[in-house]
Amino acid sequence: MEIRQEQPEAAGRNRPQPYCDSWSRSSKLLLSSVDRGWSGLSAELRRHGQSVFPWRGPQTDTHIVVDIIGSESLITRRATGIVDRYVSRRGTAWLSPPGWREGSIDITGDLPGILHLYLSPNQFSPNKLGIDIDESAIGALEHEITFEDPLLTEIACAIASELRTETSTGSMLIESLASTIAARLVQKHASTSPARSYPLLKTEGLDRRRLLRVLDYIEANLEGDLSIDRIASIACLSRYHFARAFRLAVGQPPHRYVSARRLERAKALLTRGDRSLVDIALSLGFSGQANFTRAFTQATGHAPGRYRQTAGSRRPEFSPTDVRRSLPILA
């Protein structure tokens, strides 16, 4: 069960990104990843009304816009050498590559749920993708395109859900999703020369030895800053390949495993009774006791204080030892 951390109301949390000024003049910002501490990707959920406004793309990031609700509105994008018209439906996405392209956007009707995603350039590096590919191979990503992709739609909805209700492992989830988006864009839209192939970097799955090393590292750092990049480095895999290999080995993605382990750590700390609730909350990555109390109650059905009173010397319900016992014996 996943501990979910609700996003507190805070002045300035939903500040627009600097490169999103043109969008902010024509839309209402609903949610933002500003101050979330996400790595490799930032996001904004916006409501756009009928309007015509000047548009300028991001300078360094790849900008992906996804309609996650659907509107049947006609959108026209114009820039130097570009006239792009389409009817926006749920799942419609458009891509703007890095560079200060300037033009205009004409929206004929309301767009109630538009998710803006900004991928940093390093998401397309071979180390992140796990693919031996150079910059010249990403030619198609250098042009504005409109497309529909069911997988990208589901990813966008997952990101919007994390924006609405923050989880204790949200940063890890976003790291994984950023890698998946970059790999998907390269897979579906990057141009490659027929004379050259770009094979996957040599990788192996998570054998028993490496998996146990990863599980031990996670357990030792549950009260620290866990990241997919760091855990993947422990396994000697790219971030993209690690997330897939971990899920195959354990049966759930890394962020869900860490969330379950943090829940069990919270139960153990409460049972011991020698640390305050606020100390436990902060050690497990929550911004304060109120968010921890809300998330713990949602996950267990009991408030932390009540759980502490009734738990006694309860053995954790799930531990790395249980995972070890269920692992197949690998060569």
* Whether the predicted pLDDT of 67 surpasses 90: yes
Distance CA 249, CA 23 (A): 43
Sole residue written with tokens 């916006």: 46
Q: Quote the Cα angle for 53-55-57, to 5°.
A: 160
Task: Give strand pairing partners of 116.
Answer: 44, 65
**pLDDT of amino acid 13:** 36
Burial of 192 (0-12, 13-18, 19+ CB in 10 A): middle
Query: Would the pTM count as exceeding 0.75?
Result: no
pLDDT mean over 143-158 = 87
Per-residue confidence band for 95, with pLDDT thresholds at 50, 70 and 90:
confident
Rounded CA gap, 37 and 17, in Å?
14
Determine contact, residues 271/309, Cβ cutoff 8 Å.
Answer: no
HSE value, Cβ hemisphere, 13 Å, CA-based, for 263 = 25
20 vs 94: which has the higher pLDDT: 94
Query: HEC string of 119-184?
Result: ECHHHHCHHHHCECCCHHHCHHHHCCEEEECHHHHHHHHHHHHHHHCCECCHHHHHHHHHHHHHHH
pLDDT at residue 202, as a whole number: 40
Q: Are 164 and 29 in contact (CB under 8 A)?
A: no
Q: Residues 163-218: pLDDT tens digits?
A: 988 777 888 889 889 988 988 888 776 654 433 333 343 445 678 888 888 999 89
Q: What is the mean pLDDT of residues 145-174?
A: 88
pLDDT of residue 203: 42
- For residue 141, pLDDT over 70 is answered with no
Q: What is the pLDDT averaged over residues 49-53? A: 87
Confidence of residue 65 (pLDDT cuts 50, 70, 90): very high
Confidence of residue 330 (pLDDT cuts 50, 70, 90): very low
Residue 140 has pLDDT above 80, yes or no: no
CA distance 268 to 270: 5
- Going along the chain from its start, the domains and CATH numbers come out as 18-189 (2.60.120.280), 203-331 (1.10.10.60)
Q: Tell me the range of 195-209, 236-250, 279-293, 303-317 where mean pLDDT is highest.
A: 236-250
CA 245 to chain centre: 18
2: pLDDT confidence band, cut at 50, 70 and 90?
low
Supply the pLDDT for residue 185: 86
